Amino acid sequence: MNGRAVLVTGASRGIGRAVARAFAAQGDRLALHHRDSAQAVGQLLGELPGDGHTIVQGDLADPDAVRAMTDAAADALGGIDVLVNNAGVYFHHPAAELTYEQWQDAWRTTLDVNLIGAANVTWCALQHMSSGGRVINVTSRGAYRGEPDAPAYGASKAGLNAMSQSLAIALAPRGIAVACVAPGFVETDMTTEHLTAPGGDAIRAQSPFNRVARPEEIAQAVVYLASPTAEWASGAVLDLNGASHLR
């Protein structure tokens, strides 16, 4: 088979969609994961160049569904060379506005997908990955800057950074590299409400470029970190926020 076998979670829109297109453009074969966006991911499948692509479905909060989804991707692609953990959820849950029950639910739901779900997909993908494999995790500027209205989101992304660096050490003897991209605001469906609201100009002004990222910019960074020449970037967290937050 030509090209590498790439599993992208949350591939139906936004960053995941751009990542899938970028890998397909260089001849790789994609497993496009979605939870409940069959129409959108089906449209993407029809737009991708090349052949050998497939669609896989599963709720990342369900460990059994994760394993079935990942195994289905590996069966269809003949293994997994690259995993991109992109899928994530974001809930507005400021502490001062929630009941105790709502607070617990927001944390549980967010961590189940963004952190534990990504960890489970990674474990399952590693069963099909050999030397030269790559795991790229999409985290967030919020892991460092803080997310006052969505603390579980910030914590989940900080946890994903830490998990990635731990696995970078653990998997190096197997020839597998692990790295992260940490975007700031990106022009996606998830951020449209914020960017078109009265505060949209202030969000853009966070960067001295006076704009937010395009999904394609994040995708190109993911493709680089997943490349055979990027092994030495294992353990890195690449900030992609237009100098809106420096550390």
User: In the block, which residue shows the tokens 């078109």?
Assistant: 196
Please, are residues 147 and 153 in contact by the beta-carbon 8 Å criterion?
yes
Looking at 90, 100, 144, 153, which residue is catalytic? 153
Helix, strand, or coil here: 206?
coil
Element (H, E) at 224: helix 215-225
Whether 100 is catalytic is no
Structure tokens at 13: 């829109």
Exposure string of 52-86, with b = 16+ CB inside 10 Å and e = fewer, is bbbbbbbbbbbbebbbebbbbbbebbebbbbbbbb
Token duo for residue 150: 């969505």
Q: How many CB atoms lie within 10 A of CB 212?
A: 23
Structure tokens at 113: 């997908």
State the angle between helix axes of 215-225 and 14-25 in degrees (0 to 180), rounded to the nearest 10: 50
User: Is 9:87 a contact under the CB 8 Å cutoff?
Assistant: yes
Active-site positions read 153
